[in-house]
Homo-oligomer: A and B are copies of this chain.
Amino acid sequence: MTTGVRRRMGVEERRQQLIGVALELFSRRSPDEVSIDEIASAAGISRPLVYHYFPGKLSLYEAALKRASEDLAGRFVEPHEGPLGARLLRVMRRFFDFVDEHGPGFAALMRGGPAVGSSTTNALIDSVRQAAYVQILSHLDVAEPPARLELVVRSWISLAESTALLWLDGRGIPRAELESQLVHDFGALAAVSAAYDEETAAVVRRMLRDEPADGPFGDLVARLIALAS
């Protein structure tokens, strides 16, 4: 995994290279199992030189997390076209791509790894959740969400996180099924909340209006009815 050729890099270029190397290692093993020595070796430089660019492992970890956070937030962006269920399903696919690519690093972070509790780390996690929240509201075409809709969206985001974590732990269920299930979950949680709140109900009705009968939301109610009968 060394670069083979050693050449002079600029400071920013070297920092970016080290971040990339760290992310690559964190995608195969938990960050607390990856040493600075390994990162140095994989980057083809000496351990002291790594410390020249990053004062400690935490700062390199935070820089890597920052890049991964921006990458993930970018995957939430989806054109405002077509039925909402299909849009959310495409985002779920990209989310699981990300989780798949960063498995051990994602799991360690979300389960409370060594850097959790650092204010930088927490702020980055929050920024990704906030990016997801803002995207969903924009697709729902809601500028000022009622409290119950905010709760649905934010709690569904945490559901998506925990579903992805549970998937990583053994990958016993095909990810395509979980991507689709999370879209259904969103519809189901929104529908439950709509039963308590007229404003949320109006948003859910608008959400369902443009759904095709064979789309991910379209068959949810039919399935529930079949189950209850």
Residues of A whose CB lies within 8 Å of any CB of B are: 111-117, 121-122, 125, 147-148, 150-151, 154-155, 158-159, 161-163, 166-167, 170, 172-173, 177-178, 181, 184-185, 188-189, 191-196, 201, 204-205, 208, 220-221, 223-225, 227-228
Contact = CB atoms under 8 A, between A and B. Distances in A.
29 contacts: A111-B122, A112-B112, A112-B122, A114-B117, A115-B117, A116-B116, A117-B117, A150-B166, A151-B166, A151-B167, A151-B178, A154-B166, A155-B159, A158-B161, A159-B159, A159-B162, A177-B196, A181-B196, A185-B188, A188-B188, A191-B224, A192-B220, A194-B227, A195-B220, A195-B223, A201-B227, A208-B228, A221-B225, A225-B225
B192 A188 contact: yes
Main secondary structure of the interface of A (DSSP, over half): helix
Copies in the complex: 2
A220 to B, nearest CB: 7
